A and B are shown apart, each in its own frame.
With several copies, the nearest count.
Chain A
Amino acid sequence: MAVVFDRPHALVDIPMHYCPGCTHGIAHRLVAEALDELDIEGRTVGVSSVGCSYNNYFYFNCDMIQAAHGRAPAVATGVKRSLPDNIVFTYQGDGDLAAIGTAEIVHAAARGENITVIFINNTIYGMTSGQMAPTTLLNQVTTTTPYGRDAKEHGNPIRVCEMLSTLKGPAYIERASLHDIKNIKKAKEAVKKAFKVQMAGKGFSLVELLSTCPTNWGLDPLESLDRVKNEMMEYYPLGVFAGKDLEV
């Protein structure tokens, strides 16, 4: 019997701390699989951010750096400019990337910094117990929008891929989702392509992954996947926003 599926080498063999059913775990595996399949674990430096995935430096088998909240793209820039031949990625939540880290992601993108960004959009701040994120959907109840997000009061959710793709820097930007098998497979291709874009020296790549936070959504893991499909995908359409025709 042949092994058709097992944990990738680039994912350290220890339990992860995420809540039951949280898709952070899937996203981690996809990144690790890409490192395995592209055989780049040994020359990759990953940058963890601040969010539920703050300590994924324990989980990824490549060299890792833990960055301050929102600053992973700046840290990654420092790394890439020091080690231009290495592969550098950040792994950031939507609070991290789209709120406090707005300037850093916009400018890394604008510079066309040759790094890969894995962007977990779960429409909420997970780690700090469920506050509104810039990506929180209208009417969504969070601990800081107890009466639901209101466009007038809190603004409309930000679509990061759409915004960044107005810049000239990004070589490749795609939004994928982790809510079912088909989409996980597509997401995997997107993640892999993002790394390939970097390997080819094409510049900035970013993959947004629509994810769940069962705990702070107050839903069970299955309901959470449904919410991604039924509520999130409408506002956050999947697809390639930059680099559609890019071959790598």
Chain B
Amino acid sequence: MAKVTFREDRCKGCGLCIQVCPKKIIRENRDRINAKGYFPAEVVEMDKCIGCAFCATICPDCVIKVEK
């Protein structure tokens, strides 16, 4: 069981986390625009998360916290 937390207001929607996630469980949330004007990333199937922290490793903006 692992958990990732996104600080949505810090996200710039760059999509890097989405691409590196081995489980492909992150996606761009097209329904919302955060205060910075970006579509933030969000996790869709948290239970599939393996806590590899790839997303956090590549996120340039320290948006993501990973727990396991």
Contact = CB atoms under 8 A, between A and B. Distances in A.
Q: Do chains A and B touch in the complex (CB under 8 A)?
A: yes
A221 B10 contact: no
Interface in B19-68: 19-20, 36, 38, 51, 53-54, 56-62, 64-68
Interface of B: 1-3, 9-10, 12-16, 19-20, 36, 38, 51, 53-54, 56-62, 64-68
A166 to B, nearest CB: 32
Contact of A24 (B1, B60, B68): B60
Interface in A145-189: 180-181, 184-185
Going nearest first, the 6 A-B pairs with the smallest beta carbon separation are: A25-B60, A21-B14, A20-B12, A5-B66, A20-B14, A5-B56
A29 interface: yes
Interface residues of A, number: 29
B36 to A, nearest CB: 8
A5 B54 CA distance: 10
Nearest to B19: A222
B60 to A, nearest CB: 3
- Most chain B CB within 10 A, of A3, A23, A24, is at A3
Nearest to A1: B67
A4 B68 contact: yes
A4 B57 contact: no
A184 B1 contact: no
Interface string A1-19: 1111111000100011011
Contacts of A220: 15
A26 interface: yes
A23 B11 CA distance: 14
A22 interface: yes
Contacts of A45: none
B16 A1 contact: no
Contact of A225 (B10, B16, B51, B53): B16
A7 B1 contact: no
B60 A184 contact: no
B14 A4 contact: no
B1 A1 contact: yes
A181 B1 contact: no
Contacts of B36: 15
